[in-house]
Structure 1
């Protein structure tokens, strides 16, 4: 066997593999012997089929299979042993490849076009400036989060007088043109409404300061601006009928229910932060602010990597790629797409490939490795962040582990977690090497950067 690489230019090469009979014959013989043991041919007992007949039946396909196996092993062993940095897969040469005939040939020559990665150096130093956005945790953010906790511990209480956002329950009765109860009209007992959700302010005002046993007259169609779904739900009729229902209705208030937020107690402190971690409202608010700030770090690091990527790509400049070869690879990998797909997406794919190569160098230069423990911890962090969205800052370790185990059962989840680990470690490394231009901005300003 002989394998050689000939550089065509800086970013493409021709790989030639020459196979002799000795390179594959032993495995061909072994495969044929195995087939002879299994072959079932009329007139012959199992294992007694003449080898000449077995060769006639299976020889060509076995030779083709073993030659292809030997070829594949030779190509990838050469690439690995010689540290050839290739892009995509080796492609059969379309111009110089000799015709292959497994019936008559014993020696074979295969030629492959190889796309080589461009040579460049990606590095950063203290002269490189990158913006780093520190998201301001405002008192409003803390107040809203604290309010979310107290609301979860709130309760509904019956009151005598309606205020905005209260819930009403009562008897709903359709009226005729004279304002009297319509004969055969709609009546709904125990009809529940929240006037604060009405679209029409004049109709909404009818319920201001309503008391239990008050009888009020309003027009549902006007109140909800003809929203068929809302009217259908309130009047207990189908949407088609509801859309045409424009009658006035009387509403006798039977109950007024108000949601009353819970108070900040040690029980809430313990639920959110863990047993006896904080003792006072001041300590609790400080803890809430700390958690919100920590949640923003991941967002800040994400934006930092975007800006670092832009800086590095400008620093590296435009790289040379074997465009014709890469387009062939792209077409081969997207055979279900139309002919315009490659032309429309090639530039974007080159941009992503450039960043991938830059990131690969930086990961290697900073000796960034991903251990199983890193992936498990990232799964736990992702789980912890999900619970934090629902206000749970203190999540039991066994619950985190169970959720993490479920995430690690899915291949796509594992790949995503590995990428997050790499990017987290890379962001940490780069932040210590470049000059950070720290900027404190509001969450609204930060979010607008991604619109």
Structure 2
């Protein structure tokens, strides 16, 4: 067997494979012998069909299959051993091959080659890096949330903003009387704090238990179908028929009393002995928020590195016709219009992919199983942190991480995240960072365009 690669230009080549009978004969004969053991033909016992008949009926198809397998194996081996920087897959030319009459075969493939370019980063390159400020309000909000988790609920006699009301809700007619056949909800629960209309909300100010008041739910909740359907216990389509006034007999008023910021709370949130005062507790809460923000800052940094390096490298040369054929091959069901519409965008993504590959190689970034495991834990830890859970037991982290690692798509995502995290860390040390402090709101606006 002979395989050769001939460059057409800088970004395309033709790969030629010459296969002789000696290359495949043994494999074909072995395959035919195996087939003979299984084939059924009238007049012959299984496994006793003459080889001449097996070859006559199946010889050509077995030859095609074995030659194709051999060719794919050797082509992949050639590309790997010769480090051919190929894009996509080899595209077969129109090869005039007659398997029924010929013994030696020649196949040719069009190959799209990756463009040659250099990419380097040094202290002479300046890239923005956004440090997200952890505002005092964020810390306060987080601390309040922790306190609410340890809250207790007291029954009180007089309503204050934020209290929860429970009572009998009854629909009224145009004369203000209980409507015959109207909606009645026993044990209806409301929090006037979340009403959209201030006038309706004011009706509840200072109300006491066993008081009966009149309000309009539709006005109070700004005709929100979902909220009204939930309150009135009717279908969304039926809300339109209940836009009038309702009476509400207050039977119970419940007030949430936030938990104390004490050692028990500190230990439950952070772990035993991690903080011994409110000041230490707030400092660690702030640190936890800052750590979450750091990952966001690194993500934005890589986006800016991408833009910076794409501009620095400039427009790369690609074998456009070949690349479009490859794209069409991968998107047969979407057709040529899809390729024409998305081709330029695909080149942008490919350009960054090639740049990133060079950066990963230059920085000798490798991903071990331990890295993937740790990233799975980190991803799990971040998910819990979104719900205010900082002190997650290692056993729980391990269990969630193991479940994540059972899914192939999750593992692929974790590998990419690990590479990007390591790459961001490496590049931050190489370039000059133009650090800018921004608020969380300012940072989030950067992604809204």
Structures share fold, TM-score greater than 0.5: yes
In structure 1, distance between residues paired with 2:87 and 2:234:
64
| Aligned pair partner of 1:198 in 183, 195, 198 | 195
Q: Deviations over 1:87-120 (max 9, x none)?
A: 00000124xx3x1111100010101001111111
Counterpart in 2 of 1:445? 442
Compared with structure 1, are the counterparts of its residues 181 and 378 closer, same or farther at alpha carbon in structure 2 (3 Å cutoff)? closer
CA distance in structure 2 between the aligned counterparts of 1:327 and 1:254, rounded to whole angstroms: 71
Deviations 1:117-175 (A, max 9, x none): 11111111110000111100111111011011001111221111111121222233444
1:55 and 2:55 aligned: yes
The answer (yes or no) to whether the contact 2:328–2:335 under 8 Å persists in 1 is no
Q: Give 1:182 deviation, angstroms.
A: 4.6
Q: Shift of the alpha carbon at 1:266?
A: 1.3
Q: Which residue of 2 aligns with 1:385?
A: 382
Shift of 1:187: 4.0
Change (3 A) 1:187 1:14: closer
Q: Secondary structure at the match of 1:320?
A: coil
Q: In 2 relative to 1, CA 61–270 (structure 1 residues): closer, same or farther, beyond 3 Å?
A: same
What is the aligned partner in structure 1 of residue 212 from structure 2? 215
Kindly provide the CA deviation profile for residues 49-90 of structure 1, in whole angstroms up to 9, marking residues without a partner as x. Answer: 211111101110111111111211221122112111100000
How far apart, in 1, do the equivalents of 2:430 and 2:234 lie?
67
Q: Structure 2: state its 5+ residue gaps.
A: none
1:433 aligns with 2:430: yes
Q: How many matched pairs?
A: 448
State the SS of the aligned residue for 1:88: strand
Q: Is the 8 A contact 1:227 1:243 kept in 2?
A: no
Query: In the alignment, is residue 40 of structure 1 matched against residue 40 of structure 2?
Result: yes
- Corresponding residue of 1:414: 411
Q: Tell me if the contact between 1:168 and 1:257 (Cα under 8 Å) persists in the aligned partners.
A: yes
Q: Secondary structure at the match of 2:430?
A: coil
Q: Which SS does the other structure have where 2:357 is aligned?
A: helix
1:367 aligns with 364
Note the residue ranges of structure 1 that are not aligned, 5 or more in a row. none
- Say whether residues 1:400 and 2:397 are aligned partners: yes
Partners of 2:172 and 2:72 in 1: how far apart?
A: 85
Q: Which residue of 2 aligns with 1:20?
A: 20
Q: CA deviation at 1:240?
A: 4.6
1:2 to 2:2 alignment? yes
For residues 294 and 372 of structure 2, the distance between their equivalents in structure 1, rounded to whole angstroms, comes to 19
**Alignment of structure 1 residues 41-440 onto 2, 5 Å:** 41-94=41-94, 97=95, 99-182=96-179, 185-440=182-437
How far residue 360 of structure 1 moved from its aligned partner, in angstroms, is: 0.6
SS state of the match for residue 288, structure 2? helix
Q: 1:42 to 1:349 in 2, by over 3 A?
A: same
In 2: Cα distance, 1:240 partner to 1:124 partner? 61
CA 1:179/1:88 → structure 2, altered by over 3 Å: closer, same or farther?
Answer: closer
Encode CA deviations 1:35-57: one digit per residue, 9 max, x unaligned: 22222222223332211111101
Q: Quick one: structure 1 residues 44 and 147, their matched pair in 2 at CA, closer, same or farther if it must change by over 3 Å?
A: same
Retained in 2: the 8 A contact 1:231–1:243? no
Distance 1:446 1:277 in 2: 31
